[in-house]
Amino acid sequence: MSDLRVVLAPVSGLGGDAAVLEAAQVLAQMMPVHIEVLHARPDAREAVPFMGEGASGALVEQVMAVAQRDIGTRAARAKSAFDVWLKSSGIALDATPGVKGATVAWREETGPEDEWVARRGRLADVIIAAKPGAEDAVSASITFEAALLDTKRPVLLAPPGAAARLVGTPALLAWNGSSEAARAIAAAIPLLAKSSKVVIFAAAEKDPAADSSHLKDYLAWHGITAEGPVAGRDDATTGAKLLETAGQIGAGLLVLGAYTRSRMRQLIYGSVTRHVLNNGTLCTFMAH
């Protein structure tokens, strides 16, 4: 399978930007990717309808001014972080397709971030998403969901400081026989080929498709020898066991099919995806 080529890296001007840019740089060191760093500036007018029809004109103008100032501050932070990162990254600033080597381009748009990520992400090989933090928990979660569910493209979740361990470390594959897990693993082949070893974590699903022997054969055809499987369970502890296993093997990458269960099963057993999103500290490659 060919390398990843087009990477979308959204930056918000908040806490997760450094981790997103760091992960993009690591990918550029691994293969000749083109990185589109995207900042979406919200429209200040979107803050007004929530005030109600009884708000005075003066109050509306005041709210608009505050919102515009905040939007400008975030945009300046995002661009400043990009400029500093660009100087230290050694990546060429170029948006011309076909240029050899890793390249990067800055793109700034106006509108909701999740909508722009969905639009631009559909033609990316992978979207890098920041792990939601205290400062941007709601907006980062919305952007992550848009990247994962609205584009149907793989998403690399990048917690702070995790990208440095992405190269030359073990990778853990969460396997339950689902189409989501299969899609995530297939898309992650370029990264798995550069891992020091690959270990399969197999959930205790009753479906015969969850058997990992065929997965080992599939990976072998791509030149990847997989170990395992490490046995998991099909209950509320699966997410915790998965992260525990990742820690035990020193994994720098977790590959996971996201939201593979129905809403009802998520309510009964819990969501492995949500547990990893909230508690994971390593880069996680997901697909839905």
Same domain membership, residue 152 and residue 46: yes
Same domain membership, residue 146 and residue 51: yes
The Cα-based distances of 130 to 30, 95, 283 in angstroms read 20, 23, 10
1, part of any domain:
no
Tokens in use for 127?
């979207």
Strand ranges of the sheet holding 253-257, from the earlier edge strand across to the other edge? 92-93, 103-110, 34-41, 6-10, 126-130, 155-158, 283-287, 253-257, 171-175, 198-202, 226-231
Least confident of 84-88, 114-118, 139-143, 213-217: 139-143
Task: Output the pLDDT for position 55.
Answer: 61
- Is the predicted pLDDT of residue 203 greater than 70, yes or no? yes
- Is the predicted pLDDT of residue 271 greater than 90, yes or no? no
Same domain membership, residue 99 and residue 10: yes
Same domain membership, residue 141 and residue 59: yes
Q: Of 158, 181, 197, which marks where a domain is finished?
A: 158
Same domain membership, residue 176 and residue 152: no
- Domain that includes residue 56, residue range: 6-158
- pLDDT above 90 as % of the chain: 68
- pLDDT above 70 as % of the chain: 87
82, part of any domain:
yes
Residue type, 288: H
- Whichever domain contains 35, its CATH number is 3.40.50.620
With cut-offs at 50, 70 and 90, classify the pLDDT of residue 267: very low
268, part of any domain:
yes
Same domain membership, residue 251 and residue 187: yes
Q: Of 96, 124, 158, which marks where a domain is finished?
A: 158
Task: Output the pLDDT for position 54.
Answer: 58
138, part of any domain:
yes
- Please name which of 37, 40, 51 lies closest in space to residue 75, comparing C-alpha atoms: 40
163, part of any domain:
no
Mean pLDDT (whole number) for 214-243: 89
Taking only the tens place, the pLDDT of each residue in 31-81 is: 999 999 999 998 877 755 555 555 666 776 777 788 788 899 999 999 999
- Please name which of 42, 25, 12, 35 lies closest in space to residue 140, comparing C-alpha atoms: 12
Q: Looking at the DSSP assignment, which residues form a beta bridge with residue 254?
A: 172, 284
Same domain membership, residue 14 and residue 153: yes
Same domain membership, residue 146 and residue 16: yes
Mean pLDDT (whole number) for 217-236: 87
Taking only the tens place, the pLDDT of each residue in 239-249 is: 999 999 999 99
- pTM tops 0.75: yes
Task: Output the pLDDT for position 143.
Answer: 92
145, part of any domain:
yes
Same domain membership, residue 185 and residue 149: no
Same domain membership, residue 43 and residue 118: yes
Tokens in use for 174?
């969460």
> What integer best gives the mean pLDDT of the chain?
89
Name the residue with higher pLDDT: 262 or 236.
236
What's the total number of domains in the chain?
2
Q: CB–CB of 130/17 below 8 Å? A: yes
Same domain membership, residue 185 and residue 154: no
Task: Output the pLDDT for position 149.
Answer: 93
Task: Output the pLDDT for position 269.
Answer: 38
Q: Of 158, 179, 207, which marks where a domain is finished?
A: 158
- Is the predicted pLDDT of residue 176 greater than 60, yes or no? yes
Task: Output the pLDDT for position 18.
Answer: 95
Mean pLDDT (whole number) for 191-213: 87
Q: CB–CB of 234/203 below 8 Å? A: yes
Which residues neighbour 174 within 8 Å (Cβ) at sequence distance 6 or greater? 181, 201, 203, 232, 242, 254, 255, 256, 257, 272
Task: Output the pLDDT for position 51.
Answer: 54
Same domain membership, residue 63 and residue 198: no
Mean pLDDT (whole number) for 128-155: 88
